[in-house]
Chains A and B, each alone.
Chain A
């Protein structure tokens, strides 16, 4: 049982859905993002996705591209992101941290070195967008070996034939991407998502969390109810981008969390 498994078991026992947020590590700078991260659990966040900045985020829309750029400009690196997770862990031992990003910074550090540091920092899961099941030997299998969940995205293009392959080495939860596209673009559509989530739930016992295009408390509630939880990213990052104080960002997060949990 990892911290992620525990969290979903606890939520399930309480009859609640998971509320997951994405923020970019180091946006707008290290101290600001650490302050926001530390406030997330009290605002009702069940799982924290910590974005790893990368120069070429091909799965992301403008909002997250610019967040990554701000973080890099402020000097964020993979090492600092791991340090941030470790600092967070000093006073929160239960909220799962999932690092989300692209493979190259990890590959550049070296997979073994990265995994050792990630375990030491209290990181629980990884979502690495450009590592499909076909490349499992790179990071997914080594991560599973050290007890870190490798969380996979399933998408509308993941057909029935392919789904078992996507699920095979996945653990923690499945992240269902609500649409074909990049983060922060259109709004997710219930009609399109509901049957897909039902289809995935028939194939696996893992929790299914829905993300991409969820922007409002109403949408957070709707999509949380379709599966086992919901992810909000760009809508929060936009508030950080426009200069909202951490307390205001967290107040917004709380409205989303309350809706998702209701």
Chain B
């Protein structure tokens, strides 16, 4: 690499591009809104009072820092690399999503917005948004694919308890992509009072960069914690990818540590093949434009977006954040895929060996750890982002494993 370009942490450029990816592909109605948001965020980024408020809430409301935990029995069983889990599943509301929501809601309040909309897949981002809106007394509307409303029922009820209105979206296959379409339609209709709180590192600039910066607390903490535990950097860091926010949060502070191996794990669904029953945009897609940014997408020859498939509602999205697309193309990060079946096995092993019920999303990352750890030396340090807990998934897992909940009476 040319010395002049030896940092991977300077993106995006002033047009919101990471290389060729990202940008601002939105209708004219939304353009002034995202420019106003960008201005607000650029100001907040260097504003000490903004970050003081964030850190105060992260500490006292979310419960940060989340622990970096040595998974001893798992390490022993796999017999190779030393495995650490970054325990973001212990956050208030049970996933990493709230790290980002707090940042966006503080911005929304600064902009005088009173109505918050969000899209959600697994429901974790919806729950986090509903939670923070309840805390600040803001109106909250969450768009959720009808199929996801069904498979993530516990989270739907949580959102309702928290005072949010949940709108099931029936267009398409009723998953995350469709929820995002309807959230965007809401936003163009209610431009004056409404703030769109996006749950991942996708969408038009400045969302991918902004959400990354809010999630980067994961990687910053992990770096310090690993230093304290082992006196050095990890060798490999691994995270699951839906849109890519928990992964970007872990990866970003390590991008310039060139000896650190970075691996993103996409949802392989029923297997990455030409039947397209998966959500592995980087492995099985090609560049295109959707939801405000250019990135890798699952699409047909005509540029029509495909639906994708995954057992995990949080990974069931045919795109991926533009910064991941760029890291993939320049080779700074490696992207692999894990099938539903492999993720389910990892889920069970984690319950069994560590007493942690993981969400199905990080179970994908864990499944890849299970694949590679045995092949690595014992002094190889891995950090895996345990970005969510599995309470929301027990019904899906029960069904996949052939249990009837009623059978336990």
Residues of A within 8 A of B (CB): 53-59, 61, 65, 72, 77-79, 102-109, 129-135, 152-159, 162, 166, 177, 180-182, 185
Docked complex Cα distance between A145 and B24 (Å): 23
Query: How far in angstroms is the closest Cβ of chain B from A249?
Result: 25
**Counting CB contacts under 8 A, is B291 at the interface?**
yes
SS of B interface (majority): mixed
Bound state CA distance, A131 and B302, in angstroms?
19
Given the known interface contacts A54-B304, A56-B181, A177-B29, the answer about A103 and B189 at a Cβ–Cβ threshold of 8 Å is: no
A65 lies within 8 A of B188 (CB): no
Q: Quick check: B172 and A58 within 8 Å, CB to CB?
A: no
CA distance A166 to B294 in the complex (A): 21
CB of B292 closer than 8 Å to a CB of A: yes
Q: Would you call A159 and B32 a contact (CB within 8 A)?
A: yes
A58-B291, A134-B24 are known contacts. Are A104 and B305 too (CB-CB below 8 A)?
yes
Asked whether A152 lies within 8 Å of B28 as measured between CB atoms, the reply is: yes
> Is B289's CB within 8 Å of the partner chain A?
yes
Can you name 19 A-B residue pairings with CB atoms under 8 Å? A55-B304, A55-B305, A56-B291, A58-B27, A58-B291, A59-B188, A61-B185, A77-B301, A102-B289, A103-B289, A104-B289, A104-B297, A132-B28, A135-B25, A153-B27, A157-B30, A157-B32, A181-B29, A181-B188
Residue of B nearest to A181 (CB): B189
Q: Taking A59-B188, A132-B31 as contacts, is the C-beta distance between A105 and B304 under 8 angstroms?
A: yes
If over half of A's interface residues share one DSSP class (helix, strand or loop), that class is named, otherwise mixed; here it is loop
> Are B33 and A78 closer than 8 Å at their CB atoms?
no
Known: A134-B23, A159-B32. 5 other contacts (CB 8 A): A55-B304, A58-B184, A77-B302, A180-B189, A180-B191
Binding site for A on B (CB under 8 A): 15, 23-33, 171-172, 177, 181, 184-185, 188-191, 287-292, 294, 297, 299, 301-305
CB distance from A185 to the nearest CB of B (A): 7
Q: Are A132 and B24 in contact, CB atoms less than 8 angstroms apart? A: yes
Q: How far is the CB of B185 from chain A (nearest CB, A)?
A: 5
Q: How far apart are the CA atoms of A59 and B303 in the complex, in Å?
A: 18
Q: Do B288 and A155 touch across chains, with their CB atoms under 8 A apart?
A: no
Closest Cβ of chain B to A106, distance in Å, is 7
Q: Which residues of chain B come closer than 8 Å to A162, judged between CB atoms?
A: 31-32
